[in-house]
Amino acid sequence: MPRMMMHQQAQSQSRNGSFLSAMKQLVKYCKRFVPFMIVAIIFAVIGTIFSIAGPSYIEKVTNLISSGIVNRHIDIEEVAKICIILMIFYISSAVLNYVQHLIMAIITNKVSKKLRQDINIKINKVPLKYIDGTSTGDILSRITNDVDMISQALNSSVAPLFSSITLLLGCVIMMFVTNYIMAFTAIISTIIGFALMILIMKNSQKYFLARQIILGKVNGQVEEIYTNHSIVRVSNGIEENEESFKKINDKLFSTDWKSQFLSGLMQPIMAFIGNLGFAAVCVVGAVLMFYKQIDIGVITAFMIYVRLFSNPLSQIAQCNNYLQQASAASERVFEFLNQVEVSDESNKTTYLDPAKLKGDVTFSHIRFGYTSDKIIIPDFSLDVKAGMKVAIVGPTGAGKTTLVNLLMRFYELNSGYIAIDSIKTSDLTRENVHSLFGMVLQDTWLFNGTIRDNLKYNNDVSDEEMIKAAKACGVHHFIKTLPHGYDTILDENLSISAGQKQLLTITRAMIQNAPMLILDEATSSVDTRTEILIQDAMDKLTEKRTSFVIAHRLSTIKNADLILVMRDGNIVEKGTHKELMEQNGFYAELYNSQFANAAE
Amino acid sequence: MLRLFKYLKAKDYLALVVAIILIVFGVMLDLKLPDYMSDLTKLFYSPNYQLSDVALPGIKMLLCAVGSGIISAIVGFLSAVLSSNFAKYVRYALFSKVLSLSPSEIDKFSTASLITRTTNDVTQMQMTIAMGMQVMVRAPITAVLAIIKIIDKGTTGWVMATGISVGVLIIVLAIIVSLCLPRFRKVQRLTDAVNGVSRENLTGLRVIKAFNAEKYQLNKFEIVNTDLTKNNLFTSVATALLNPLMMLIMNGLSLAIYWIGAYTINNAVSLESQEQIFSNMIVFSSYAMQVVMAFLLLVAIFMIVPRAMVSGKRINQVLRTKIDIKEGSFNKQTEIKGELEFKHVSFSYNDEKDEDNEEVLQDISFKVERGKTLAFIGATGSGKSTLVNLAVRFYDPDQGEILLDGVNIKDYTFKNLYNRFGYVSQKSIMFNGSVKENIFYGQSLAAEDEENLLQSLNVSQAEEFVNSKPGKEEYIIEQGGKNLSGGQKQRLSIARAIARKPEILIFDDSFSALDYKTDLKVRTLLNEKMKDTTKIIVAQRIGTIKNADEIIVLDEGKIVGKGTHEELLKNCKVYQEIALSQLDKEEL
Query: Is A305 among the domain residues?
Result: no
Determine the number of helices (DSSP H) and then strands (DSSP E) in chain A: 20, 12
Does residue A422 belong to any structural domain of this protein? yes
* pLDDT tens, position by position, B471-498: 888 888 877 777 777 778 888 999 999 9
Percent of chain A scored above 90 by pLDDT? 5
The SS3 assignment for B65 reads helix
Q: Comparing A90 with A482, which gets the higher pLDDT?
A: A90
Residue ending a domain, among B481, B502, B523, is B502
Same domain, A189 and A287: yes
Mind listing the pLDDT tens digit for each residue in B164-206?
A: 888 888 888 888 888 887 887 788 778 878 888 888 888 788 8
Tell me the CA distances in angstroms from B114 to A145, A214, A387, one per residue in order.
Answer: 22, 20, 52
- If one counts every other C-beta atom within 10 angstroms of the C-beta of residue B181, the result is 14
Shortest Cα distance, chain B CAs vs residue A17, angstroms: 31
Q: What is chain B's mean pLDDT, rounded?
A: 83
Does some domain include residue B498?
A: yes
Within-domain flag for A368: yes
* Together in a domain, B168 and B289: yes
Which among A80, A439, A360 has a CA at the least distance from the CA of B207?
A: A439
Of B279, B299, B319, the position where a domain reaches its end is: B319
Shortest CA gap A589–chain B (Å): 9
Task: Kindly indicate the confidence band of residue B529, based on its pLDDT and cuts at 50, 70 and 90.
Answer: confident
pLDDT of residue A397: 63
| Interchain proximity A218–B212, CB inside 8 Å | no
Pick from A233-242, A341-350, A355-364, B352-361: least confident: B352-361
Report which residue type is found at A531: E
Write out the DSSP string of A523-559: TTTS-HHHHHHHHHHHHHHHTTSEEEEE-SSGGGGTT
One-character DSSP codes across A281-313: HHHHHHHHHHTTSS-HHHHHHHHHHHHHHHHHH
Q: Is residue B508 part of a domain?
A: no
Please say if the pLDDT value at position B536 is more than 60: yes
Is A105 in contact with A155 (CB distance < 8 Å)? yes
Yes or no, beta carbons of A530 and B442 under 8 Å apart: no
pLDDT value at position B92? 92
Whether residue A220 is predicted with pLDDT greater than 50 in this model: the reply is: yes
Contact by Cβ (8 Å): B506, B402: no
Q: Which residues from A are below 8 Å from B485, CB to CB?
A: 396
Kindly state the average pLDDT of the residues A96-118: 90
Chosen for mutation from B200, B431, B437, B476 (greatest number of chain A CBs closer than 10 Å) is B431
**B199 CB contacts (<8 Å, ≥6 apart)?**
A136, A140
**Chain B interface disruption, residue of A109, A126, A197, A234, most B CBs within 10 A:** A234
Residues 6+ away with beta carbon under 8 Å from A539 = A559
A494 and A425 part of one domain: yes
Could you tell me the residue range of the domain that residue B231 belongs to?
2-319
Distances (CA, A) of B240 to B174, B233, B251: 15, 10, 18
Nearest C-alpha of chain A: how many angstroms from B363?
24
Shortest Cα distance from A253 to chain B (angstroms)?
6
The CATH number linked to B433 is 3.40.50.300
Contact B212 A434 (CB under 8 A): yes
Tell me the pLDDT band of B583, cut-offs 50, 70 and 90.
low
User: Contact B430/B472 with Cβ under 8 angstroms?
Assistant: no
Nearest CA in chain B to A434: B210
| Domain identity same for A191 and A46 | no
Residue B267: inside a domain = yes
> Given an 8 Å threshold on Cβ–Cβ distance, is A80 in contact with B259?
yes
Contacts of A218 in chain B (CB under 8 A): 91, 119
| Cβ–Cβ < 8 Å for B387, B376 | yes
A262 and A123 inside one domain: no
Choose, out of A241, A283, A492, the residue to mutate when testing the contact with B (most B CBs < 10 Å): A283
The nearest alpha carbon in chain A to B195 belongs to A140
CATH of residue B270's domain is 1.20.1560.10
Q: Does the pLDDT value for residue B276 go beyond 50?
A: yes
Task: Give a yes or no: residue A8 inside a domain.
Answer: no
**Closest to B123 (Cα-Cα) out of A219, A221, A251:** A219
pLDDT value for A95: 92
Please check whether residue B130 lies inside any domain of the structure: yes
Same domain for A523 and A427:
yes
Report which residue type is found at B73. A
State whether A211 and A151 are in the same domain.
no
Judgement on whether residues A112 and A234 belong to the same structural domain of the protein:
no
Q: Give the pLDDT score at B260.
A: 87
Give the closest of B65, B206, B236 to A109, CB-based.
B236
Residue after which a domain boundary falls, among A127, A153, A178: A178
pLDDT digits (tens, 9 = 90+) for A345-368: 778 888 888 778 888 899 888 888
Q: Is the pLDDT of residue B75 over 70?
A: yes
B10 shares its domain with B126: yes
Among residues A276, A293, A310, which one ends one of the domains? A293
Instruction: Return the CATH number at A91.
Output: 1.20.1560.10
Contact B331, B415 (CB under 8 A): yes
Same domain, A412 and A447: yes
More confident residue, B553 or A525: B553
Range of the domain at A452: 354-593
Binary contact (A596, B543; C-beta < 8 A): yes
A480-490: b or e for each residue (b if 16 or more CB lie within 10 Å)? eeeeeebebeb
**Predicted confidence band of residue B44 (pLDDT cuts 50, 70, 90):** low
For residues B203 and A57, what is the distance between their CA atoms, to the nearest angstrom?
64
In angstroms, the Cα distances linking B134 to A111, B137, B149, B173, B305 are 37, 6, 22, 21, 14
Tally of domains in chain A: 3
Claim to verify: residue A186 and residue A137 sit in the same structural domain: no
Residues B433, B293 within the same domain: no
Chain A residues in contact with B200 by the CB 8 A cut-off are: 447-448
B460 part of a folded domain = yes
State residue A416 phi and psi, 5-degree precision.
85, -175
Residues A203 and A241 in one domain: yes
Residue A327 in any domain: the answer is no
Instruction: Give the burial string for A289-316 (b: 16+ CB within 10 Å, else e).
Output: bbeeebbbbbbbbbbbbbbbbbebbbbb
Q: Give the number of beta-carbon pairs within 8 Å between A and B.
A: 442
What kind and span of H or E run contains A383? strand A374-384
Same domain, A93 and A221: no
Name the residue among B285, B220, B227, B281 with its Cα closest to residue B252. Answer: B285
- CA-nearest of B105, B86, B63 to B6 is B86
DSSP assigned state of B330: B
Q: To the nearest whole number, what is the mean pLDDT of chain A?
A: 81
Q: Is the Cβ pair B543, A224 closer than 8 Å?
A: no
The 3-state DSSP class for residue B316 equals: helix
Domain count of the fold of chain B = 2
Which one of A140, A228, A300 has the shortest CB-CB distance to B195? A140
Task: Compute the nearest-CA separation of B405 from chain A (Å).
Answer: 17
Question: In A291-369, which ranges are continuous DSSP H helix?
Answer: 296-337
Q: Which of B115, B198, B258 sits opposite A143 (nearest CB)?
A: B198
CB contact under 8 A, B199 and A140: yes
pLDDT bin (cut points 50, 70, 90) of residue A8 is very low
**Residue A177: is it exposed, middle or buried by C-beta count within 10 angstroms (0-12/13-18/19+)?**
exposed
| Same domain, yes or no: A512 and A454 | yes
Exposed / middle / buried, residue A422 (Cβ in 10 Å: 0-12, 13-18, 19+): exposed
Where in B448-520 does DSSP place strands (E)? 476-477, 504-508
Are B434 and B307 part of one and the same domain? no
Distance CA(B32)–CA(B428), nearest Å, equals 67
CATH number of the domain to which A568 belongs: 3.40.50.300
Instruction: Please name the member of A250, A526, A593 whose beta carbon is closest to the beta carbon of B380.
Output: A526
Flag whether A584 is in a domain. yes
Q: Are B369 and B338 in contact (CB under 8 A)?
A: yes
Report yes or no on B251 lying in a domain. Answer: yes
Question: CA neighbours within 13 Å on the CB side: how many for A426?
Answer: 14
Please tell me whether residues B296 and B430 are part of one structural domain. no
Q: Please, which pLDDT band fits residue A250 given cuts at 50, 70 and 90?
A: very high
Q: Is B329 within the bounds of a domain?
A: no
Confidence of residue B332 (pLDDT cuts 50, 70, 90): confident
pLDDT band, residue B47 (cuts 50/70/90): low
A560 phi, psi to nearest 5 deg: -70, 150
B459, pLDDT greater than 70 = yes
Q: Establish if A303 belongs to a structural domain.
A: no
- B276, B298, B319 - which closes a domain: B319
How far away is chain B from the Cα of A446, in angstroms, using its nearest Cα?
A: 8
Of the candidates A425, A446, A442, A422, which has an alpha carbon nearest to the alpha carbon of residue A434?
Answer: A425
Q: Which residue of A has its CA nearest to B542?
A: A595
Q: Is residue B178 part of a domain?
A: yes
B436, B310: one domain: no
Asked if the model's pLDDT at residue A396 lies above 70, the reply is no
